[in-house]
Structure 1
Amino acid sequence: MARLIAEGASMLSETCPICGLPLFKLKTGETVCPAHGRVWIVTSEAEAEEIEVDYVLRRIEYYAIKRAYEALNSNEPSEIIPWLNIIEVAERIKNLRDNRLKTKMETVEKSEVSKSKSEK
């Protein structure tokens, strides 16, 4: 915990759902537990689904890369093509999701700016 604070992290009021230690917000915006690393604070079912989809995509990508590497080192390098296709599709899905989230964040920021201007 001292290391996180020394690095500029802020202690949050929320605790880790696994161990109960206080969570910290890093300068990058990530929320971490000192014992478990990165954690997600979920406030809605939609957020939980987003996190689950991200996790599944990362696992698919990891597995496909692992299998592509094995195919590359095998006697049948042509076996790599299906794995490369899976990696490409996973990357496209991640890019679409990132663009959608970026657009959503920009919309929220614009609405906050217009609210603050109208309050003045």
Structure 2
Amino acid sequence: MSDDAGIKKAASLLKQGAVMLDISCPICHMPLFKLKSGEIVCPNHGKVYVVKNEEEEAKVKREVSLQGVEETLLDGLFAVAKKIKEDPSDEESLKQVIYYLDALDRVEKLIKELKGQQSQ
């Protein structure tokens, strides 16, 4: 994103009631903003995680990694679903759907468990 676009996005965030913070994005060095929801965002990159110690950093990295795994599994599930639309009797694809759904369920449980630990 260009500097002008970042500045325009920052101005838009301020108009929406966001508060500019005294810390900057570690990637682009633009000021970070705190939304009314409490979420901290960079005008250029979107959501930013602010951590206070190594333990928090490790938890955030695990959560982001699990979200990446979840996205990959969903992409695979959608690809197999297309195969099933073409050939509904393809037993191998049907088995793959079950495996994907099982893996997604496990990842979602891990994400919920991790978020529960963060709120404690």
**Whole-angstrom distance in 1 between the partners of 2:117 and 2:50:** 20
Greater relative contact order: 1 or 2 (C-alpha under 8 angstroms, separation 6 or more)? 2
Moved over 3 A (4+): none
Show the counterpart of 2:80.
Answer: 71
Please report the TM-score for the alignment, with normalisation by the length of structure 2. Answer: 0.79
Amino acid at match of 2:34: K
Show the counterpart of 1:80.
Answer: 97
**Whole-angstrom distance in 1 between the partners of 2:32 and 2:44:** 10
- Percent of aligned pairs with the same residue? 31
Residue 41 (structure 2) pairs with residue 32 (structure 1): yes
What is the aligned residue count? 103
Is there any run of 5+ residues in structure 1 with no aligned partner, and where? Answer: 105-120
Cα RMSD of the aligned pairs, angstroms, is 1.3
Is there any run of 5+ residues in structure 2 with no aligned partner, and where? Answer: 1-9, 84-89
Show the counterpart of 1:97.
Answer: 114
The correspondence of residues 1-120 of structure 1 with structure 2, limited to 5 A, is 1-74=10-83, 75=90, 76-102=93-119, 104=120
CA shift for structure 1 position 23: 0.7
Amino acid at match of 2:94: P
